[in-house]
Amino acid sequence: MLTLRHLQKLQDARSRVRLADGRVGKIIRVDTTFPENKTEVSVYTEDENKPGIAKVGLEVLSAMSDAS
């Protein structure tokens, strides 16, 4: 699972992330609520058959390597 610090680095570098359902995209927004400590990440995906913006939790994201 990604941490908020790692998520910020990925967003700043415009790196791609993979969602649990296989879609690939770039992080465009990170929202964290307190005191619940719940994080919602908005990811822009280029999949034509599914919505372009996915709002997901940290648990469904994984960073992609440069070779991916």
Domain residue ranges of the chain, discontinuous segments joined by +: 4-63
Strands 16-19 and 38-45: unpaired
pLDDT at residue 42, rounded to an integer: 94
Of 4, 63, 1, the closest CA to residue 33 belongs to 4
Q: What is the pLDDT along the chain (68 residues), one digit of tens a residue?
A: 678 888 889 899 999 998 888 889 999 999 999 888 888 999 999 877 777 898 998 888 887 755 44
Alpha helix segments (H runs only) across the chain: 4-12
According to DSSP, the residues that pair with 24 across neighbouring strands are: 18
Task: Please state the pTM of the whole predicted model.
Answer: 0.79
pLDDT at residue 43, rounded to an integer: 93
CA pair distance 13, 23, nearest whole angstrom: 19
pLDDT at residue 40, rounded to an integer: 92
Contact in structure between 48 and 23 (CB atoms under 8 Å): no
